């Protein structure tokens, strides 16, 4: 009996092996035949030698630059003629604070579409196969979706803040504030470095005789120019145009690679052709069966973890995303981030599934790799595929895509740095308008706005929107034709408005110098031979530790400044240590000749990223619990009252949100709605943000990839379904991002025009009421109440 069982298993084992051998032989025979067919037909162009000429590239950039300038001037015209708030400093950084869901979504998509999004996602597809595009897309989408929770929390607990650093300063003081300013600025430097490295590599490859220096200057000229003219609002408008064009170009490549079956000179053209070539390619050793068609990829999974950790830092610590939150109202911000994240997913997922896998297929058909490993790491996979399949047209399309990706994100980074320099460094540390001991003190009068110990120390200032003297100042300045505009004469608001005009000048200089400094940064990194892939993987090591402390700043009452600093600095030091120790175990250690290679290994970056974010989180929570044992209800309430004190005294947040909150008696700065009322108003939006963010994160990071394990290695049918999903997502994203933003923005403009028409009679009456020009006998502000007007004017 035992011998029979033994013989049975021997037979089964032998037949199984024979079956595998037959299948392998059949597959080898098929692949040899397929490759001979491709070798017999010269359908693959040479690798990029000359894409487009320098003259053509310059004309392309000039046309794009002129168009962006027109958009910036259009935005300015709308702010002057329709919204009438162009000369407000905050408008340059929050675009009026009422940006629609659609425009918020398109800006998020555009800001998050770096050159690395297009280049690095295709690189990991070429390295790891189908898992690469998915891990890039999902690992960088969840941060945007989760940020919706931070967005609504910021708008509830600190509605008047313009930067997340202002919240840190209000809660923990100036010393802690300086530490986080450093990390915020470092994040902007890293993001800008990745933008420029990717853009410079592609443009110098595709454009004949284009030097790195000229490429950097061209990009800086376009980015700095329209940012200087239009501020953040121009970035929103240009972002819409850029995102629209990026989706259109992606769909062009998709149609070329997967939906052009009857063109003889196209070596691809259908999912089946691409599948056959991928099936014949020899994939990474760590992949299941050395296949590019499997999710079972050790390298792909390691990249996914690094991607998740690193991108938390570049979203949560990057002021540009907090700026997008500030620019929208609470509900609009939540849905803007969620829809923007889901729409953005289509860009790396579809683009890399198309271009990255097409590169592998073309290399297989060619019989050898089209690029060296270094060229792949520099991000040259997409331009190589574009030029190989479409020649000069493909080169032009790739140049346009990179230009779109760099300009929007580059502009957002420039604005982010400028806002930190103006709001956090200049206003708080260098030249504050009024030195105050705590955030309760009114910037206009120095008294307490609320929670005053005695009635004599209570602020009685009110919003500029209710000040008739300020209306007269605006009318006089609008009608003045002098080179130097009349000074502000309102005794309550005039001095602070003068101070803000100084800040506008500082803001312009900040934008100018920040844009200029991008050029030497690019040249320095290029001289150091730092690749895009290296910087992308490294970013989480140095900024990942600050993710949890910053998130807890708007969520956790017991967090204190000491814990935030120890967690952030300690986490970075531990992350760097783990990164270097792991790199030292590879051949050559940390010697100069192999330093970048060994520190750029996936394992080195993986350990550094994980240690940084986990150590930062653990230290922050542990120190807070150890040093902040108990807080009374009064202390907890006061903790968030400090963040609610952050405000613009000319246009307070309570006045802006009066209609939504239902608190209309908010003209005085000392009279604002209670925190409980604000929380109640936006409770539904907060719940929606939390539920949506958590659910989508679980789906993208756990459920979807776990379900792909069962697929093992894809067959032709499964690959067709996979490609269909990527294409469908891109089409849906394109329809949404092209139609919704323009519809919602037109609606907003029309609504404002109607509102202006309704108020026109009152404004005309004000212009005719010149008797108030006799306002020289008193220093009191002119109130809107008729009795006060009569008292002060006559």
Place of tokens 């620019």: 327
List all residues 6 or more positions away from 711 whose beta carbon is below 8 Å from its beta carbon.
294, 295, 718
Residues of the chain with pLDDT > 70: what percent? 84
Q: Which of the given ranges, 87-91, 280-284, 483-487, 727-731, has the highest pLDDT on average?
A: 727-731
Chain region(s) in the chain for CATH 1.20.1730:
54-433+684-753
What is each CA distance from 536 to 113, 417, 610, in whole angstroms?
14, 20, 15
Rg (CA), the chain: 29
Model confidence at 600: pLDDT above 90: no
Cα–Cα distances (Å) from 408 to 32, 102, 199, 217, 614, in that order, read 46, 16, 13, 16, 32
Question: Of 43-47, 258-262, 355-359, which gets the smallest average pLDDT?
Answer: 43-47
In contact, 597 and 589? CB cutoff 8 Å = no
CB 339 within 8 A of CB 105: yes
Residue 9's pLDDT is what?
A: 43
Distance CA 545, CA 551 (A): 11
- Kind plus residue range of the DSSP H or E element containing 476: helix 468-479
C-beta separation of 360 from 292 below 8 A: yes
Please name the residues in contact with 564: beta carbons below 8 A apart, sequence gap of 6 or more.
168, 172, 176, 180, 549, 552, 553, 620
Phi, psi of 461 (to 5 degrees): -70, 160
d(CA 64, CA 49): 25
Residue 307 has pLDDT above 70, yes or no: yes
- Mean pLDDT of the 193-213 span: 80
At 731, the pLDDT band (50, 70, 90 cuts) reads: very high
Tokens representing 628 are: 């902040």
Tell me how crowded residue 190 is: count the other CB atoms within 10 A of its CB.
23
Confidence label for 6 from pLDDT (cuts 50, 70 and 90): very low
Q: Which residue has the higher pLDDT, 134 or 233?
A: 134
CA distances from 571 to 168, 245, 362, 610 (A): 18, 40, 43, 10
Gap between the Cα atoms of 79 and 594, Å rounded: 54
| For residues 25-43, average pLDDT | 64
With 0-12 / 13-18 / 19 or more C-beta atoms within 10 angstroms meaning exposed / middle / buried, residue 120 is buried
More confident residue, 459 or 42: 459
How far apart (Å, rounded) are the C-alpha atoms in residues 656 and 90? Answer: 13
The predicted model gives 537-553 an average pLDDT of: 91
- Token digits for 461? 């200032």
pLDDT for position 43: 52
Q: What are phi and psi of 368, to 5 degrees?
A: -160, 165
Pull the structure tokens for residue 547: 């993710």
On the question of pLDDT at 570 being above 90, the answer is: yes
| Greater pLDDT, 226 or 597 | 597
User: How confident is residue 572, by pLDDT bands cut at 50, 70 and 90?
Assistant: very high
Per-residue confidence band for 193, with pLDDT thresholds at 50, 70 and 90: confident
Beta carbons within 10 angstroms of residue 743's beta carbon: 12
Instruction: Give the pLDDT of residue 88.
Output: 63
Q: pLDDT, tens digit, for every residue of 69-123? A: 787 777 777 777 777 655 566 666 666 667 778 888 888 888 888 877 888 889 9
Percentage of residues in the chain having pLDDT higher than 90: 24
The pLDDT of residue 786: 39
Least confidently predicted of 107-111, 252-256, 650-654, 662-666: 662-666
Distance CA 641, CA 157 (A): 8
- DSSP states of 409-429: HHHHHHHHHHHIIIIIIIIII
| In the predicted structure, residue 760 carries a pLDDT above the cut 70 | no
Residues in the chain: 794
Q: Predicted confidence band at 726 (pLDDT cuts at 50, 70, 90)?
A: very high
- In this structure, the dihedral spanned by the alpha carbons of residues 754, 759, 761 and 766, taken in order and rounded to 10 degrees, is -150
Average pLDDT of span 373-393: 86
Of the listed ranges 15-29, 134-148, 535-549, the one predicted with least confidence: 15-29
- Nearest 5°: the CA angle 684, 686, 691 is 95
Gap between the Cα atoms of 478 and 789, Å rounded? 23
For residues 631-641, give the mean pLDDT: 84
Higher-confidence residue of 563 and 590: namely 563
- Alpha carbon 685 to its chain's center: 21
Task: Report the mean per-residue pLDDT for the chain.
Answer: 81
Q: How confident is the model at residue 787 (pLDDT cuts 50, 70, 90)?
A: very low
Cβ count near 433 (within 10 Å): 16
Q: Interhelix angle for 633-644 vs 164-172, to 10°?
A: 140
The average pLDDT across 311-322 equals 87
Q: Could you give the CA distance from residue 168 to residue 171 in angstroms, rounded to a whole number?
A: 5
Res 51: pLDDT: 64
Tokens 């610590």 belong to residue: 317
Q: Dihedral sign for Cα 143, 146, 152, 155, please.
A: negative
Q: How many Å apart are CA 135 and CA 628, to the nearest integer?
A: 39
**How far apart (Å, rounded) are the C-alpha atoms in residues 205 and 375?**
10
At 779, list the tokens. Answer: 């220093």
CA nearest 414: which of 508, 325, 522, 515?
515
Rounded mean pLDDT, 2-11: 47
The answer on pLDDT for 25 being more than 60 is: no
SS3 297: strand
pLDDT for residue 154 is more than 50? yes
Fold type of domain 54-433+684-753: Sodium/glucose cotransporter (1.20.1730)
Q: Which residues, including other chains, have CB under 8 Å from residue 245's CB and lie 6 or more apart?
A: 400, 401, 404
- pLDDT above 70: residue 369: yes
CA angle 230, 232, 235 (to 5 degrees): 80
Residue 770 pLDDT exceeds 50: no
pLDDT at residue 591, rounded to an integer: 87
Which of 193-207, 295-309, 543-557, 770-784 is predicted with the least confidence, judged by mean pLDDT?
A: 770-784
pLDDT higher at 730 or 17: 730
Specify the DSSP element, H or E, that contains 386.
helix 381-419
Residue with tokens 């051998």: 21
Query: Mean pLDDT across the stretch 582-595?
Result: 88
Spatial CA neighbour of 79 closest among 237, 240, 241: 237
Task: Classify residue 209 by burial, with Cβ atoms within 10 Å: 0-12, 13-18, 19+.
Answer: exposed
Look at 257 and 450; give whichever has higher pLDDT. 257
**pLDDT over 50 (residue 8):** no
Q: Identify the top-confidence range among 227-231, 448-452, 497-501, 603-607.
A: 603-607
Quote the pLDDT of residue 484: 81
DSSP state of 270: S
DSSP letter (8 states) at residue 715:
-
Spell out a b/e string for 497-516, using b for 16 or more CB atoms within 10 Å of the CB, else e. bebbeebeebbeebbeebbe
Place of tokens 């760099």: 406
Decide: helix, strand or coil at residue 554.
coil
- Outline where 658-715 has alpha helix (H): 658-661, 675-681, 683-698, 704-709
Q: Which residues pair with 713 in a beta bridge?
A: 294
Report the pLDDT value the prediction gives residue 776, as an integer from 0 to 100.
Answer: 42
Three-state SS annotation for 38-99: HHHCCCCCCCCCCCECHHHHHHHHHHHHHHHHHHHHHHHHHHHHHHCCCCCHHHHHHCCCCE
When pLDDT is averaged across residues 772-787 and rounded to a whole number, the result is: 42
Task: Give me 272's structure tokens.
Answer: 């089946």
Lowest mean pLDDT among 37-41, 147-151, 264-268, 679-683: 37-41
CA distance 313 to 547: 6
In this prediction, residue 785 carries a pLDDT of 41
Residue with tokens 């506008």: 504
**Spatial contact of 424 and 181, defined as CB atoms under 8 Å apart:** yes
Residue position matching structure tokens 């470095």: 193
């Amino acid at each position: 009996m035992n011998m029979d069982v033994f013989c049975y298993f021997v037979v089964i084992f032998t037949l199984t092996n024979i079956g595998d051998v037959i299948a392998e032989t059949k597959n080898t025979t098929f692949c040899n035949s397929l490759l001979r067919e491709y070798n017999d037909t010269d359908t693959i162009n040479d690798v990029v030698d000359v894409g487009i000429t320098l003259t053509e590239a310059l004309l392309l950039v000039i046309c794009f630059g002129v168009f962006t300038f027109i958009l910036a001037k259009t935005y300015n015209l709308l702010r002057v003629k329709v919204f009438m708030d162009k000369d407000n400093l905050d408008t340059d950084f929050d675009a009026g604070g009422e940006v629609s869901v659609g425009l918020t979504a398109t800006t998020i998509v555009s800001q998050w579409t770096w050159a690395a999004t297009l280049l690095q996602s295709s690189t990991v597809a070429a390295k790891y196969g189908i898992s690469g595009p998915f891990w890039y897309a999902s690992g960088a989408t969840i941060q945007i979706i989760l940020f919706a929770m931070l967005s609504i929390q910021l708008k509830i607990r600190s509605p008047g803040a313009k930067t997340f650093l202002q919240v840190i300063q209000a809660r923990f003081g100036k010393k802690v504030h300086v530490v986080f300013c450093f990390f915020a600025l470092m994040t902007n430097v890293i993001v800008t470095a990745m933008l420029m490295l990717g853009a410079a590599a592609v443009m110098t490859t595709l454009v004949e005789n284009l030097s790195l220096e000229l490429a950097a200057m061209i990009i800086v000229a376009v980015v700095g120019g329209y940012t200087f003219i239009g501020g953040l609002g121009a970035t929103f408008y240009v972002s819409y145009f850029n995102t629209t064009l990026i989706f259109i170009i992606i769909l062009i490549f998709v149609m070329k690679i997967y939906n052009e079956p009857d063109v003889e000179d196209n070596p691809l053209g259908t999912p089946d052709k691409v599948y056959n070539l991928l099936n014949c390619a020899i994939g990474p050793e760590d992949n299941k069966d050395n296949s590019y068609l499997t999710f079972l990829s050790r390298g792909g999974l390691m990249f996914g973890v690094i991607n998740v950790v690193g991108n938390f830092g570049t979203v949560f610590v990057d002021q540009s995303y907090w700026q997008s939150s500030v620019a929208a109202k609470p509900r609009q911000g939540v849905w803007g981030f969620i829809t923007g994240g889901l729409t953005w997913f289509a860009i790396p997922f579809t683009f890399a599934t198309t271009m990255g896998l097409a590169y592998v297929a073309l290399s297989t058909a060619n019989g050898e790799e089209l690029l060296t490993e270094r060229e792949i790491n520099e991000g040259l996979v997409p331009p190589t595929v574009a030029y190989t399949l479409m020649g000069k047209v493909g080169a032009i399309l790739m140049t346009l895509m990179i230009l779109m990706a760099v300009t929007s994100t580059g502009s957002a980074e420039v604005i982010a740095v400028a806002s930190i320099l103006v709001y956090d460094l200049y206003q708080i540390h260098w030249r504050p308008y009024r030195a105050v001991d705590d955030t309760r003190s009114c910037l206009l009068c120095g008294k307490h706005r609320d929670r005053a110990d005695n009635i004599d120390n209570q602020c009685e200032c009110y919003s500029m929107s209710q000040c008739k003297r300020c209306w007269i100042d605006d009318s006089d300045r609008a009608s003045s034709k002098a080179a130097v505009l009349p000074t502000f004469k309102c005794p309550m608001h005039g001095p602070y408005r003068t101070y803000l005009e100084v800040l506008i000048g500082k803001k312009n200089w900040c934008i100018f110098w920040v844009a200029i400094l991008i050029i030497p940064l690019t040249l320095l990194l290029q001289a150091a031979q730092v690749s895009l892939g290296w910087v992308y993987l490294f970013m989480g090591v140095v900024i990942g530790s600050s993710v949890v402390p910053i998130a807890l700043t708007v969520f956790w009452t017991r967090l204190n400044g000491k814990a935030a600093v120890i967690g952030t600095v300690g986490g970075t030091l531990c992350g760097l240590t783990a990164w270097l120790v792991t790199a030292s175990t590879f051949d050559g250690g940390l010697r100069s000749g192999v330093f970048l290679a060994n520190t750029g290994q996936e394992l080195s970056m993986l350990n550094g990223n994980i240690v940084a974010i986990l150590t930062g989180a653990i230290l922050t929570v542990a120190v807070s619990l150890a040093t902040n044992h108990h807080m009374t209800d009064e202390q907890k309430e006061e903790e968030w009252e400090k963040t609610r004190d952050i405000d613009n005294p000319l246009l307070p947040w309570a006045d802006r949100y009066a209609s939504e909150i239902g608190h209309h008696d908010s003209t005085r700065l000392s009279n604002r709605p209670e925190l409980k009322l604000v929380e109640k108003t936006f409770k539904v939006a907060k719940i929606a943000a939390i539920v949506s963010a958590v659910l989508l994160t679980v789906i993208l990071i756990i459920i979807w990839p776990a379900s792909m394990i069962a697929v093992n290695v894809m067959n032709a049918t499964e690959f067709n379904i996979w490609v269909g999903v990527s294409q469908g997502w891109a089409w849906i994203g394109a329809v949404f991002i092209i139609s919704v933003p323009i519809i919602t923005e037109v609606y907003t403009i029309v609504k404002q025009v109607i509102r202006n028409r309704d108020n026109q009679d009152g404004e005309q009456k004000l212009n005719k009421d010149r008797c108030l020009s006799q306002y020289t006998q008193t220093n009191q502000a002119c109130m809107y109440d008729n009795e006060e007007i009569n008292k002060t004017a006559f």
